[in-house]
Chains A and B, each alone.
Chain A
């Protein structure tokens, strides 16, 4: 394992501590308009998020498009610089790292992307793609480098003979395996998986999920698994965080969240997901949410979900509900929770 890029804050970090601790994280993007490109507002993509990820666990992050889940994922591995708040990784503050120290941090975290077509450089061979992290961090050279690349390809279930081939010669699932091999090349301890299977064929999705699970137990990886499909997230995650308009609405263990959602948004999200069983589908009660997600440029006051919430009261517009504990690592941000 590479040495940590940053100095520990106070005491030595151990694997018993959270691997990642995010507190009050904000990522805003400015919106400009007019000839002079004056800033006229901000997209509050991530707006005050608290999240903890323990070593070796998988935290699922679900939400609809525009809820800020991808932005959050990119911010915690510092592909974006946070506007506010703090990110502690292995006990050290990485929120505003720059230059060589940020580069060193990249050896400890990696990302797997949604689109296996866009995330591989079409002009590079598979060997170049998987070998690039090795080159960038001077991990190996010559024969040793070649061996590592072949090893990585084997690990993700690709034939090592394919090193000289180009991405377009592979199917979506195989390309995703190449992307996973690239992520593993730096020997990271933490991987952000940003919708890694949503672009794949149904019959291939399970292969990739199983591969990710196997890799996790072999190499003791910690995942932040971002997806819009709650059934996939529930399968792979130890805990699930539900995001809506830049804020976390509810966090809980997978089956806890499914059996006893506290937040009305979680409940409607669960009821919106079709279950591949006609008998159950016939019996299910559906809460169908009205309207669309509000604009992240001018999010609603108070609770952001109140504009679509079937249980909203006047109070919800006046104050932002804090994440409150419901025991057993179950937290929800709602004044009028379900019981």
Chain B
């Protein structure tokens, strides 16, 4: 196996609230290999976005309590702010859910897309703009020379997301973190952006972390996925294996609860009971146990660690670690 490009080791990120410390990310570890697309799925509040922000050290007001983020042999959690500025945008780029708020409304789009080049490579305005226009064309913005003169509000949502991707790619970063990049977009536009991300991954070889709540999106985009729940990784493995034989009851139940376009017959959905947990007041033991159909006594007592279950997958579940198959009515 190749050397991982990015390695997150036992990351803990906490937030201070009125009701006490909230463990938004609670011991997350994973690797990202060169050129791969890794999916991180989970519901709101599961810690997937905070994990990404922590890698970029943009987690404020959160606090990285412990853990390491190894990137090219360096621990980013120990890097100075100046060093981080070099990493951000140049080596690791990030795109967000809402492309409107990520672009500055008072600057011309081309100027903004060129900004990382002026910042990181010290290029002059003309040279950086030419390169930016070139990149805008590559991400599928028609008549890029003219559109570079426009302001962000003159673009549609999908086009703005393309602009964001172009901006992220100008400095040819090695890692692209896409945090719910298509959630705010319509499905046909989502398909365009996902297609673009696939294309970027192939053409530039950019390793991508795709964060989403949409299981369908990861199914089509990622070779490997991580499932998060309440700040922890509950399951990880090759996408085909995780979807075919989920080894954590949460993944298992989630896959059964969503309606599928290709469903042959109309059957009632099988929802997951209960509510997503409140991070301030997590259940004891496994955070999923109150909603779990397979729970055993141990689940409410001890927190299961993420361990190998089966040939290719990792799961943090006492039940599957003991060798039980997940089956249900």
Q: Which residues of A contact B (CB under 8 A)?
A: 64-65, 171, 173-174, 201-207, 209-210, 213, 228-232, 234-236, 255, 258, 268-282, 284, 286, 288-290, 292-293
B145 is an interface residue with CB less than 8 A from chain A:
no
B194 contacts which chain A residues (CB < 8 A)? 274
Interface SS of chain A: helix, strand, loop or mixed? helix
Q: What residues of A have a CB within 8 angstroms of the CB of B220 in the complex?
A: 274-275, 278, 281-282, 284
Known: A201-B43, A209-B259, A275-B262. Contact between A281 and B189, CB under 8 A? no
With A276-B260, A290-B192 known, 5 other A-B pairs at CB within 8 A are A202-B214, A203-B257, A210-B268, A273-B216, A275-B260
By the criterion CB–CB under 8 Å, are B187 and A277 in contact?
no
Chain A: CB-nearest residue to B256: A206
A282-B271 Cα distance, complex, nearest whole Å: 27
In the complex, what residues of A have CB within 8 A of residue B216's CB?
A: 231, 273-276, 281
Residue pair B191, A202 in contact (C-beta under 8 Å) = no
CA A82 – CA B239 in complex, angstroms? 49
Contact residues in A for B268 (Cβ distance below 8 Å): 210, 213
| CB <8 Å contact, B259 and A203 | no
Report if A278-B240 is in contact (Cβ < 8 Å); known contacts: A273-B216, A273-B261: yes
Report how many residues on chain B are interfacial, defined by Cβ distance under 8 Å: 46
**Known contacts A206-B271, A275-B219: A231-B191 contact under CB 8 Å:** no
Q: Which of A65, A255, A272, A277 contacts B191 (CB 8 A)?
A: A272
Q: Which residues on B sit within 8 Å (CB–CB) of A293?
A: 186
Tell whether A232 pairs with B43 under 8 Å between CB atoms, given A268-B188, A274-B219.
no
Q: Once the chains bind, are A174 and B239 in contact (CB under 8 Å)?
A: no
Q: Are B259 and A234 in contact (CB under 8 A)?
A: yes
Query: Within B210-263, which residues are at the interface with A (CB < 8 Å)?
Result: 213-217, 219-220, 239-240, 243-244, 253-255, 257-263
- Chain A residue with Cβ nearest B215: A276
Query: Which of B43, B187, B271: most chain A Cβ within 10 A?
Result: B187
Given A235-B269, A289-B192, A292-B158, is A275 in contact with B261 using a C-beta cutoff of 8 Å? yes
B266: chain A residues at CB < 8 Å are 235
For the complex, give the distance between the alpha carbons of A295 and B232 in Å: 44
